[in-house]
Amino acid sequence: MRSLSLTIDLDEIITKLVNRLSKIMAISKVSIYLKTEESEKVKVYETSEQKENNEIIFYEPDKNDPFFVSLIEQEKINTEEFMINYYLKISEELEKRKISLSLPLIVQNRLIGILNLGNKKFEDEFSQEDIFLLETISTQASIAIDNAISYKKLEKAYKELKNTQEELIKAEKLSTIGRMASSIIHDVKTPITSIIGFAQLIGFKTENKLLQEYTKQIIRSAEQMHGMIQEILDFAKGKEKELNKKKHNLEEIIDEAVLELKNYLEHNNIKLKLVRDFNNSLYLDKQKVVRVLYNVIKNAIESMPDGGRITIKTYPDNNNAVISITDTGKGIHPEIKNKIFEPFFSNGKNNGTGLGLSIVKKIVEAHKGKISVESNPGKGTTFFISFPIIKDIT
């Protein structure tokens, strides 16, 4: 049984122990009761002569099971005293279940499990040599099982520590970004206000329709810049800003986001196709949904440095309005697809905070909506954004 000490995988140890007892010792039935990591829980591994190839089944025992009670009640034990009381308690159960030998698994005066053995297949009862050998095996098995359980606990603790460390790093990053955003807002508020004021003044003073449209675009962009910085600040501080939801036509919101990126699309040689199969109004925070579409479309543009095509579709799906945004870019590898909505995940981008899609997801979910992504590396990516269709609010 030396091989038991060569592994730290609990299931492998149990399988080896059960198989060897069944085959080498020719034991008809083997069951092992083990404490789990959870408080007051026990797991039973069992095989019997009715199962082919010593197939092992496992289950949770009844709470009135004497072996379960013995495991749960006993922590630190006095070995000799425990053994006497133990056999007095379970004597009837041994006969009832046709258990020939029950061996407590003890490590440093701690009861970690119970090994129950059925009859020998070819002999009436266990000899003294058999019992001595089985006690030796149970001692070795106890140590191997305890080591495996301890390793599993250590592995779990390490993962928890690693996750905590990652969360602390994220929290520190968010705190740093929050301080930076706060400083930036303070510094840019005055010039943004000036830009908006002078743009409005130019719009009032001129009768040139094209110039008026340009000034409106300047005002929208300046307000968007301020809103984006404020949003990063709120995200970093963990604030849940209340949505300013009103009835808006979805296509008009998409048009506004596209207009914001018109020059960027043309500069990067991107062809845009709009397929409109939903032209109704939804209750949305217009500014935030424009931000969502702006970020997703901008990411699509950046995935196609040599030009390409973006298709934006809208359509109803049960009680939801869906926007799909498809590009012909390089796609997203499967191993990182589930990480793109995590804070600070930038997928190799040289600029940006890595918060864009995190903020997008947060905005969509604040609307009780959903966002998902499908991608084929080398062929392109599609983002699906859905918002619930709500009847008029009275």
CATH number of the domain that residue 145 is part of: 3.30.450.40
DSSP 76: B
Residues 182 and 298 in one domain: no
For range 317-338, the mean pLDDT: 91
End-to-end Cα distance, the chain = 75
Q: Is residue 164 part of a domain?
A: no
Residues 19 and 103 in one domain: yes
Residues 175 and 265 in one domain: no
Residues 41 and 151 in one domain: yes
Q: Is 196 strand, coil or helix?
A: helix
What per-residue confidence (pLDDT) applies to 36? Answer: 78
Q: Is residue 40 part of a domain?
A: yes
In the chain, how many domains are there?
Answer: 3
For range 305-333, the mean pLDDT: 93
CATH number of the domain that residue 286 is part of: 3.30.565.10
Residues 228 and 257 in one domain: no
* Rounded Cα–Cα distance for residues 79 and 20 (Å): 26
Of 187, 202, 237, at which residue does a domain stop? 237
- Stretch among 166-175, 196-205, 284-293 having the lowest mean pLDDT: 166-175
Q: In the predicted model, is pLDDT for residue 244 greater than 60?
A: yes
Q: How confident is the model at residue 48 (pLDDT cuts 50, 70, 90)?
A: low
What per-residue confidence (pLDDT) applies to 308? Answer: 94
Q: In the predicted model, is pLDDT for residue 11 greater than 90?
A: no
Q: Is residue 271 part of a domain?
A: yes
What per-residue confidence (pLDDT) applies to 118? Answer: 84
Q: How confident is the model at residue 153 (pLDDT cuts 50, 70, 90)?
A: confident
* Sheet-wide strand order for 30-35: 57-59, 42-47, 30-35, 110-117, 101-107
Q: Is residue 161 part of a domain?
A: no
Find the domain containing 233 and state its range: 169-237
Residues 211 and 356 in one domain: no
- The larger pLDDT score, comparing residue 134 to residue 307, is at 307
Contacts 24+ apart (CB under 8 A), 388-393: 388/319, 388/320, 388/321, 389/280, 389/282, 389/316, 389/319, 389/320, 389/321, 390/282, 390/283, 392/247, 393/283
Residues 199 and 330 in one domain: no
What per-residue confidence (pLDDT) applies to 47? Answer: 80
Q: How confident is the model at residue 54 (pLDDT cuts 50, 70, 90)?
A: low
The pLDDT tens digits of the residues spanning 245-286 come to 999 999 999 999 998 888 889 889 999 999 999 988 899 999
Q: Is residue 272 part of a domain?
A: yes
- The larger pLDDT score, comparing residue 264 to residue 232, is at 264
Q: Is residue 394 part of a domain?
A: no
CA-wise closest residue to 270 among 312, 230, 228, 217 = 312
- The larger pLDDT score, comparing residue 236 to residue 308, is at 308
Q: Is 175 strand, coil or helix?
A: helix
Give the type of residue at 323.
Answer: I
Of 237, 258, 274, at which residue does a domain stop? 237
Give the type of residue at 337.
Answer: K
Residues 7 and 149 in one domain: yes
Q: In the predicted model, is pLDDT for residue 52 greater than 60?
A: no
pTM of the model: 0.51
Supply the DSSP string of 303-358, one letter for each residue.
T-TT-EEEEEEEEEETTEEEEEEEE-S----HHHHTTTTSTT--TT-SSS-S-HHH
- The larger pLDDT score, comparing residue 115 to residue 181, is at 115
Q: Is residue 160 part of a domain?
A: no
Phi-psi region for residue 307, left (φ > 0), alpha (ψ -120 to 50) or beta? left
Q: In the predicted model, is pLDDT for residue 383 greater than 90?
A: yes
The length of the chain is 394
Q: Is residue 34 part of a domain?
A: yes
Residues 230 and 251 in one domain: no
Most confident of 2-11, 21-30, 369-378: 369-378
For range 164-173, the mean pLDDT: 73
Burial class (CB in 10 A: 0-12, 13-18, 19+), 212: middle
Residues 207 and 102 in one domain: no
What per-residue confidence (pLDDT) applies to 77? Answer: 63
* Rounded Cα–Cα distance for residues 45 and 33 (Å): 7
Residues 130 and 266 in one domain: no
For range 142-163, the mean pLDDT: 84
Residues 253 and 190 in one domain: no
CB atoms within 10 A of CB 377: 12
Of 216, 237, 258, at which residue does a domain stop? 237
- Stretch among 13-17, 37-41, 91-95, 248-252 having the lowest mean pLDDT: 37-41
Mean of per-residue pLDDT scores for the chain: 81
What per-residue confidence (pLDDT) applies to 222? Answer: 81
